[in-house]
Chains A and B, each alone.
Chain A
Amino acid sequence: MTTTLKWKPAFRHLFMILFSLIMVYPVLWWIGASLKDSTELGSPSIFPTAPQWSNFTKGWNSVPGHTFTDFYLNTFGLEFAVIIATLLSCTLVAFGFARLDFPLKNFWFSILMLTLMMPGQVLIIPQYTLFYQLGWVNTYLPFIIPHLLAGGAGGSFFVFLLIQFIRGVPRELDESAKIDGCSWFGIFWRIVMPLAFPAIVTVTIFCFLWNWDDFLGHLLYINSVDKYTVGLALRMINDSQSAQEWGQLLAMSLVSIVPATIVFMFLQKYFVEGIATTGIKG
């Protein structure tokens, strides 16, 4: 009996260590491969024999007429606009649903819940024709405007997450603020928003990640290279280069996941909370 008690956790840890290594191995190999010469790219070893830092420098400049600096600036600019738009709209909407009473509220709330499950691809064609007629193709407006209207990549999720959080903020705070003559907007801005800070961080993180990976959207609406996002630029060098430059391609791909990794490392607490409380996918 005592031996099984000792052995079981040990075995479990051994299994988990091995399993974690298998899960992470492709990423570790990737880091090594980004520094490898094309002749040793197929090698399973994580460590390159002679690190080729030129993979990064050449890869960074591999798009004629542009550098990846441009693409990162584009992507971060787009992300910044989209995140601001999301935070403005989703917090207001969530406050309205969580705190105010108005006719048909339950009806609209069930519609909101339905849109959580709405397959976005059904809407891409009519949305494209709308934005096309408005002359918004090859601008960032097809991303910013939907987010400003609590939509876009994950909009309903963010509203739902914020509603759940605001419902947990004690109502007594509202009541006392009302007695002191505070308006609804005042309650929203001065009381609920500061308390909803953790949820706002979670929304910001996921808004950032999902827009970073919104490849289909970028592919549809961004046509000219000077507006390209990082994902589109990667696809372009993937399509245009021969197999000889795999090292550069892997180096540039690796750099493209660095922002998400940094966000994850520093804000891990908010990640796990966000995923666990709402069932949001990562």
Chain B
Amino acid sequence: MNRSTTTVAQSAVKTKKSSYFRSRWNAPLAGYLFISPWLIGFLALTAYPLFLSLYYSFTDYTLMQPIKWVGTRNYERIFTADPKFIQSAKVTFTYVLASVPLKLIAALLVAMILSKAVKGISFYRTAIYFPSLIGGSIGVSLLWRNIFGIDGVFNKLIGVFGFEGKGWITSPDTALGTLILLTVWQFGSTMVIFLAGLKQIPNDLYEASSVDGASKVTQFFRITLPMLSPILYFNLIMAVIGAFQMFTSAFVITNGGPMNSTYVYAMYLYERAFSRYEMGYASALAWIMLVAIVAATLLISYTSKYWVFYETDTGGKKRK
């Protein structure tokens, strides 16, 4: 993207007139004036708070009382004497590891089927996208709570097929599953991105490979997946970052229960900070979350050189 900017700029310099205007118009002040809202916002509402919360994490701070420096005590307590931290971290990891792959796989499979169905594609796309349009709202969380309740419609539906119902939301072993299902139900927006990516793959690749006798399975692993891998990579990272911060549905549908089986990390953070006003302790929790998210992102980008393929690459599957 920067490359194209410079080439346009260079071509502009070539003519004498515009070189005059370049010197006159490209004053650094104008640039900074234009980006100043973002720059002030970044410094005051992102960078400064980030360091502020790092500082808080080494203190006792309850909003009302003066800040008291306590060194690494918050972190020591979190890692040695906080069963709720262990529980909420476990729940969140389970949620991330289950919901992200399921959502991406569903999105990819349906996108592949849909990329071939030419007639009616806009109808299917609308139907499948709609849940992700509304899925993050309180309204849908309340709907979910009703559907999967003991008297809910889900039990009636499986009863038709002879399965015995249960309180899906009130049983510790299935409650998180219903929340994961709610997330996977919203795979539509990811699917739309994959669908756009699939359309970009040149048809010649498939034609040439089928002339060479490649099977559908081979084509999928050797053409579709590699060509789609940059999009998959981007979506994987954004889905992981989003899943780590899951809050609304756990808060509204199950309120962390039963028996803390859906007590996600963000809920614990919220409780410490805004029910007990332990801002120092909660900031330490927040920084641990940040480190976990950064570590996950780095891990994914480290592995990306083995599976993400860019068209500008020459030759084989693996890059240097």
Contacts and interface: CB of A to CB of B under 8 A. Distances in A.
Interface of A: 9, 12-13, 15-16, 19-21, 23-24, 26-27, 29-30, 33, 41-44, 88-90, 92-93, 95-97, 100-103, 105-106, 108, 111-112, 115, 117-130, 132, 146, 148-151, 155, 159, 164, 167, 171, 175, 178-179, 184, 188, 209, 212-213, 215-216, 220, 230-231, 234-235, 238, 246, 249-250, 252-254, 256-257, 260-261, 264, 268, 271-272, 275-277, 279, 281-282
Give chain B's interface secondary structure class: helix
Contacts of B8: 171
A20 B124 CA distance: 6
A102 B28 contact: yes
Contacts of B44: 149
A260 B39 contact: no
B49 interface: yes
B94 interface: no
Contacts of A27: 130-131, 134
B123 A20 contact: yes
Given A95-B34, A106-B2, A268-B126, A257 B139 contact: yes
B263 to A, nearest CB: 15
Contacts of B185: 23, 26
A215 B248 contact: yes
Contact of B234 (A89, A129, A279): A279
- The bracket for how many chain B residues form the interface is 35 or more
Given A102-B31, A125-B279, A118 B21 contact: no
A261 B134 contact: yes
B142 A250 contact: yes
Given A44-B157, A126-B50, 8 more contacts: A26-B185, A42-B156, A100-B34, A111-B42, A115-B46, A127-B45, A155-B41, A282-B129
Nearest to B157: A44
Nearest to A234: B138
B308 interface: no
A261 B151 CA distance: 28
A167 B119 contact: no
Contacts of B170: none
Given A167-B4, A282-B188, A23 B38 contact: no
Nearest to B46: A115
Contacts of B46: 115, 118, 123, 151
Contact of B31 (A100, A150, A178, A231): A100
B85 interface: no
Given A119-B245, A250-B146, A16 B238 contact: no
Contacts of A118: 46
Contacts of B50: 122-123, 126
Contacts of A88: 37
A19 B234 CA distance: 26
A96 B273 contact: no
Contacts of A257: 134, 137, 139-140
B38 to A, nearest CB: 4
Interface stretch (B75-83, B217-225, B289-297, B311-319): B289-297
Interface stretch (B110-118, B172-180, B205-213): B110-118
B152 A42 contact: yes
A20 B42 CA distance: 42
A250 B138 CA distance: 11
A213 B138 CA distance: 7
B242 interface: yes
B241 interface: yes
A277 B287 CA distance: 32
B31 A260 contact: no
B270 interface: yes
Contact of A117 (B45, B127, B237): B237
A120 B137 contact: no
Contact of A12 (B35, B39, B116, B237): B116
B147 interface: yes
25 contacts: A12-B113, A24-B127, A41-B151, A42-B151, A42-B156, A101-B28, A102-B28, A121-B245, A122-B50, A122-B289, A213-B138, A215-B252, A234-B142, A246-B146, A253-B142, A253-B143, A256-B137, A257-B134, A257-B137, A264-B130, A275-B189, A279-B231, A281-B238, A282-B129, A282-B192
